[in-house]
A and B are shown apart, each in its own frame.
Chain A
């Protein structure tokens, strides 16, 4: 029988379906025996904090080709219901690949301090 505080990590290890959106632990007793990183949103924490430059899409001029979506190494660019591309700033590290690859040059990298 496992202790109640171990249930959380045992679930994460056992079943892909039961994995939560984000790994969160209250204290050391709940932790798994080893640090593990799962292919989940934010497994490294809120990486948006790392950003120096923020990509800003000029939606009115964007031709919706999807190249930014394809190139984004973090998978944080998604198409919304209106067919526009949106960037999840919680996790966007601001690498600027989308801005470089955009064929119509409609993504601008703006300094976070100026936002």
Chain B
């Protein structure tokens, strides 16, 4: 397609006004997923509700929709379907993901390219159903990749990109696509739903009857997997292989983001991170998920006021983009890290700030890091608060001193103060 043709093509496309959850359902439809297994949980439910409408209405011919009695069974059935050689999809949230936990390990250990969306919510108790990324971060060491979305369009796009990454023969790891419950799942924005033939061209072909290369169900080629390995066997080495695939996935993620931009015209930085006005900045802020969108505006407004601030939007938590973090840290003198999640007892703040700090350790980079925790359990984070977070970093840079109001080295920003 020539550039002019591309432009014409883009202009002919129409966007739909969609809730984040519905955008996720459309993405699964566009990706032609073959097996969906579902159990409802707030705030994810409307993803699988919409998909059941699609399947029932004949809009997803050939797709099997399995209703089960729990999240544990959701993942068990998805693992089975994926072993049989199908493109699979499910969605869950918070406690649902925790209940699924055992099967999540089986999915990663069997190296199955399952994509699961999470309308992330705070963990109970106390009961909470609002935006908080604790659920996806809790699955950190399961062998699943995990990505955060900060816009409705990104939910749709990220799910499409996910299948291209996970089904790469060198990767073959499952992946979570997380977005904030309610803030993204239940609000509406325009979302471009791509032409089916273009999506088909972008994604790898659906697995054929042979199934995946490394795992299949074929009476002609009998095999058993998930077997017992004695301590003298290759158990440790199989874990090394998962780690190796995860780290090497970073290159694939970058390549897929590039291809996505070429084909659909939407850019997501290098795939792993998106820099925003970090060049020439004195202080920067690392942020992820829904909070990143509004932080762009906070950066813009402070830049207009003359503050040299910038931000780095983290798109992936696993694999962790350590090279990009170092590159960003080198550009600034003070780096804040905003977590919408907790890591109780951690000596280095929230889950992402811990990663950032350990990435910078022994790297020769002198940038100061301030861990911040903000917006837990769906607590509203206003534009003014985000500007304040940036100003705290600016002040830290000017005075060279940490803010006073820290709890064991971490700034819990936006605490309630009742008069």
Residues of chain A having any CB pair with chain B under 8 Å: 9-10, 13-16, 25, 27-28, 31-39, 44-45
Contacts and interface: CB of A to CB of B under 8 A. Distances in A.
Give the interface centre of A14, A25, A32 by most chain B CB atoms within 10 Å.
Answer: A32
Interface of B: 109-111, 172, 213-216, 220-230, 233-234, 237-238, 240-241, 245
Nearest to A38: B223
Contacts of A36: 214-215, 223-225, 227
Nearest to B233: A45
Contacts of B172: 33
A27 B244 CA distance: 14
B237 A31 contact: yes
A31 B223 contact: no
Give the interface centre of A9, A25, A27, A36 by most chain B CB atoms within 10 Å.
Answer: A36
Give the interface centre of B216, B221, B229 by most chain A CB atoms within 10 Å.
Answer: B221
Contacts, number: 61
A18 to B, nearest CB: 11
Contact of A31 (B222, B226, B234): B234
A35 B234 contact: yes
B165 to A, nearest CB: 15
Contacts of A25: 234
Given A31-B234, A35-B225, A36-B225, 10 more contacts: A16-B221, A25-B234, A31-B238, A34-B215, A35-B227, A36-B224, A37-B223, A37-B224, A38-B223, A44-B227
A42 B39 CA distance: 42
Contacts of B222: 38-39
Given A33-B111, A34-B214, A13 B221 contact: yes
Given A35-B225, A37-B225, A13 B237 contact: no
Contacts of A39: 222
Nearest to B211: A13
A43 B229 CA distance: 11
A contact patch SS: loop
Contacts of A45: 230, 233
A31 B225 contact: no
A9 B172 CA distance: 16
Sort A-B residue pairs by CB-CB distance and give the 3 closest, nearest first. Answer: A28-B237, A37-B224, A37-B227
A34 B225 contact: yes
A45 B224 CA distance: 15
A25 B111 CA distance: 19
Contacts of B227: 35-37, 44
Contacts of B237: 27-28, 31
Contact of A28 (B220, B224, B225, B240): B240
Nearest to B111: A33
Given A34-B109, A34-B110, A28 B241 contact: yes
A35 B234 CA distance: 8
A34 B221 contact: no
Contacts of B216: 13
Contact of B229 (A9, A27, A35): A35
Nearest to B109: A34
B234 A33 contact: no
A36 B215 CA distance: 9
A58 B172 CA distance: 54
Contacts of B229: 35
20 contacts: A14-B221, A15-B221, A16-B221, A25-B234, A27-B237, A28-B234, A31-B238, A33-B241, A34-B109, A35-B225, A35-B227, A35-B229, A35-B234, A36-B223, A36-B224, A36-B227, A37-B223, A38-B223, A44-B227, A45-B233
Contacts of A16: 220-221
Contact of B213 (A13, A28, A31, A44): A13
B331 to A, nearest CB: 37
B214 A32 contact: yes
Contacts of B240: 28
B238 A35 contact: yes
B356 to A, nearest CB: 30
